[in-house]
Chains A and B, each alone.
Chain A
């Protein structure tokens, strides 16, 4: 195996792709460029359009309008079986009447690969997913994780320039999932092909991806690395979907230098202003909030509240703090910090520079639940 990928992957370009079912738009003008050899994750809640996007790329679903290019060639109207794209499904989709070996050989047989070459490539693909000893078993004799590894071998054995994975680990338990995530990452490095991965699990997306496209209601909210999405969310939805966050809403006052929010009598401020008409909210990551006993907080931005939930995480503690206006703040404090009990009165403080000022979006909450 070549340890250094030589960009054998295909680029994908989606330009204003729309898929409508009657009045409902499953995809509403999705544009996305995926680089050759990139690991791109399509992340979003169910019904957000991420799986539809995958199905459009695979050729299982037609687009209503827009352009779709794979490797620079338009594939609109090209049937799925002529696209030469590997697909791994959540439900494995192994052929139950064929052995593991014949399952993996299937795409090679269709392509008229000779018997010797076929044997060699099947063995290589099965070795890559560490299923080399199982060629003579039937899928029904394998565990879910083993079946999915065979399905992966079958999807890469014909060297497709692009591999699509639709929640491949969704049916597996957590430990197995975490191990297979690392396996998939390793295989991506070894193959150097383009991977497009669909999941609703933001942690999985962070572990695997070069870049993540966050989907919401048939549109892409933001595309970026995990760090970009966490540190600089473009929308309230992205901020809420990636990682934990505290959202502060209140009576707003903007002046030349910044924006102040009045939350149940207490005022906090961010040194920025929001362009446009939308009402601003402040989004804070848990580690940007400090938790103190009443009166001990420093700085301008202080909020008082009560501990509603205290969770010991091993590496630290996580607190849910009920604020004056009834909303909940999430704080993570390091192991070295003080401990707080349920019902205890506390004060939270943060640096205004860490506050993300975002346009309020009432749908951000509803689509998450």
Chain B
């Protein structure tokens, strides 16, 4: 449909405003990370790499970063294995109970984070899981599982199960069929699930704030306590690094999903 030039200009301006609004916080953080002064002020004054340097050299920061990496890596693997198995089971179940179970497993996405956090915290106090690696892994896996489930289920939905019948007719047993036919075809879903799970755990803050203690802090927790304590501009540097990392991860995941969709058409 042909648009009038004026309509086109107005529409373009509105889109631009919304876009700026959406990325504004990001645009604030990135310049601040190069601030020359020791303050979290905007606009920044001067230019320096010192906050990046501080992030690498200060053990408070580097330890929490490594903690986050460790937790997120284990969560990614655990959530991917469990989520893929769940997606398979649900795909091969009768529709009604499967839908109920699926909704149940997706609840962590809907339930407010604080509610989950309080529940997890209460249980962890008794189980002595507060501030422990298993504690973080367990809690984050609950939150990451739905993403894997969704990604793998989407792939399984377009997967043609008749290919498995064909593989059987050609001599492949159930395991061989899974390895040579099913798995390669749903791998994009599994990989994007893995990336989403990693990202979910890596920047999780609400539950982490509840179950953290001085012995085990993840990076978002460290950012939060740092900014409430002394407005250290290092948080801006960390924020920028995180932004880059998650953009690459999520972007990669979306690309994988998108390529899979296109390949099916």
Binding site for B on A (CB under 8 A): 58-60, 79-82, 84-87, 89, 91, 93, 95-97, 106-107, 110-111, 140, 154-155, 158
Contacts and interface: CB of A to CB of B under 8 A. Distances in A.
Nearest to B169: A87
Ranked nearest first, the 4 interchain pairs of A and B with the lowest CB-CB distance are A93-B166, A87-B169, A107-B170, A80-B168
Interface stretch (B118-126, B171-179, B226-234): B171-179
B185 interface: yes
A85 B171 CA distance: 9
A352 B162 CA distance: 52
Interface of B: 160, 162-163, 165-173, 176-177, 180-181, 184-185, 263
A82 B180 CA distance: 17
Per DSSP, are chain B's interface residues mostly helix, strand or loop, or mixed? Answer: helix
18 contacts: A58-B169, A79-B168, A80-B168, A81-B169, A81-B171, A81-B177, A84-B171, A85-B169, A87-B166, A87-B169, A91-B162, A93-B162, A95-B167, A97-B185, A110-B171, A111-B171, A154-B170, A155-B169
Nearest to B184: A97
Given A87-B166, A97-B185, 18 more contacts: A60-B168, A60-B169, A80-B168, A81-B168, A81-B171, A81-B172, A89-B166, A91-B160, A93-B163, A93-B166, A95-B163, A95-B167, A96-B263, A106-B170, A107-B171, A140-B263, A155-B169, A158-B171
Contacts of A107: 170-171
A60 B163 contact: no
B170 A158 contact: yes
A110 B166 contact: no
Nearest to B171: A110
Contact of B176 (A87, A89, A110): A110
Contacts of A80: 165, 168-169
Nearest to B163: A93
A179 to B, nearest CB: 24
Nearest to B176: A110
A150 B160 CA distance: 18
A110 B165 contact: no
Contact of A60 (B165, B170, B176, B263): B165
